[in-house]
Amino acid sequence: MPVYKTITVNKDTSIAIWKVEETEEFLSKGVRLSEKCQTRFNGMKSEMHRRAFLSIRHLLALYGYVDHDLYYDEVGKPHLKDGNFISITHSHNFTAIIISKREEVGIDIEKQREKILRIAHKFTPFEEYKSLANVEAVIRKLTIVWGAKESLYKIYGQQGISFLHHIIVADFLFADEKTTAEILYKGDHTNYDVNFMEFEHFTCVYAIKIAGK
């Protein structure tokens, strides 16, 4: 079982990351999907997507959940039937979940790629990053910012939010491994703690909504 990393964020919140290296046949063992998830699984053309999908069910099992404990709302946000908060992510051969008993949470994994330079203007004021030492540093920082905004978007769960105009990530240093962020949307103002880590040219970012803010 290649659980790549587990993180205890606090007494109520935990993260598990999986590096998908097994075959689809192996990952299918012991997994029973709900009718809706089975239909979704059957429609996946990519073997990598199917393997990632199954690996997430193994991550759920680490916390005592099965596929039937998970459901999605009308905008595609995942929920657990016991009321605990969950967020799910996958990128290439990495998958992860974050589960919390108290706080709303979001998680995102992204591969660090040059492609992000071409789309940066769509989600952040690019001028802020021109002082960085080199292109690699710019790619790393942009990937963290994108992951932070994606994590907040997953928590907020409403369509119509602009990554560029409504989600603001405070500046940070790589060594900090954390920052803060906020969503300003239609008169609503919410605040979040954000943490990030880098491994094998991937970036994992997770956010926790600050209660009462």
- Is residue 127 domain-shared with residue 199, that is, in the same domain? yes
Quick one: 43 and 76 in the same domain? yes
Label residue 134 by pLDDT band (50, 70, 90): confident
Neighbouring-strand partners of residue 168:
182
Write the DSSP string, the chain: --EEEEEEEETTEEEEEEE--S-HHHHHTT----HHHHHHHHT---HHHHHHHHHHHHHHHHTT--GGGEEE-TTS-EEETTS-EEEEEEETTEEEEEEESSS-EEEEEEE--THHHHHGGGTS-GGGGTTSSSHHHHHHHHHHHHHHHHHHHHHH--TT--TTTTEEE----GGG-EEEEEEEETTEEEEEEEEEEEETTEEEEEEEEPTT-
The CATH number of residue 156's host domain is 3.90.470.20
* Bigger pLDDT: 158 vs 59: 59
Last residue of a domain, one of 102, 123, 144: 102
Domain residues for the domain of 198 are 108-209
Tokens of 156: 């907020």
Q: Taking residues 7-23, report their average pLDDT.
A: 97
pLDDT of residue 157: 84
State residue 149's pLDDT score: 97
Phi then psi dihedrals of residue 89, to 5 deg: -150, 155
Q: Which of 161, 59, 164, 148 is nearest to 140 (CA)?
A: 148
192 and 112 housed in the same domain: yes
69 shares its domain with 94 = yes
Each residue of 22-71: pLDDT tens digit?
Answer: 999 999 998 999 888 999 999 999 999 999 999 999 999 999 999 999 99
Indicate whether 35 and 94 sit together in one domain: yes
116 and 86 in a single domain? The answer is no
Tokens of 142: 């942009």
